[in-house]
Chains A and B, each alone.
Chain A
């Protein structure tokens, strides 16, 4: 299966811990996007990356959140010192050329902060 793979599917963290969400894009895709969906809301853009570069992080909170897409390995969304308000579904998507081609989504990571 060459689809977008996200893991873990479910992640439970206590307040103050770190959360690491992983995303492997579709084969041949070098553009990765992270979105967050809060309950009863739509998908909110967080960050757009290409290999080894952050292209647009205008949707990322300024503190505690970071993302990377290294030359080798999956893209990582990292949330430090999680708070209850971070509880959400986090979706990763990849695309072939970043514009005028569709995003293909993974099944998401549901983060619960207790």
Chain B
């Protein structure tokens, strides 16, 4: 039972353009949402989060948007840089557990 879904396993973007990563969730009780970035052979690194009382949170080149009615979360990276190439996981939390999507592999082409 996948409560957090990332339907695009991969994404390629030109350097300098916008990267948009998407995530859908099924549990309306989720109230805290996060994005992580993961390089091979390393642990996930926290990027940005948003609580359910907001619909947008921005941190530098990273912006997370939350659409509660659609149960949809997105991460915008602009401008994209080659160093952004990694696997991105969305996650959400209610109660004791954090649920993770299966990840989207982003490749930024120089």
What is A's interface to B at a CB cutoff of 8 Å?
4, 6, 33, 35, 41-45, 48, 55-56, 58-59, 91, 93, 98-100, 102-108
Contact = CB atoms under 8 A, between A and B. Distances in A.
A41 B34 contact: no
B43 A45 contact: no
B65 interface: no
B96 A107 contact: no
Interface of B: 31-32, 34, 36, 41-46, 49, 51, 89, 91, 93, 95-103
A98 B96 contact: yes
B42 A99 contact: no
Interface of B is mostly: strand
Contacts of A35: 100
A51 B45 CA distance: 24
A58 B102 CA distance: 20
A56 B96 contact: yes
A42 B9 CA distance: 11
Given A105-B45, A107-B41, A99 B32 contact: yes
A68 to B, nearest CB: 17
Contact of A42 (B31, B42, B89): B89
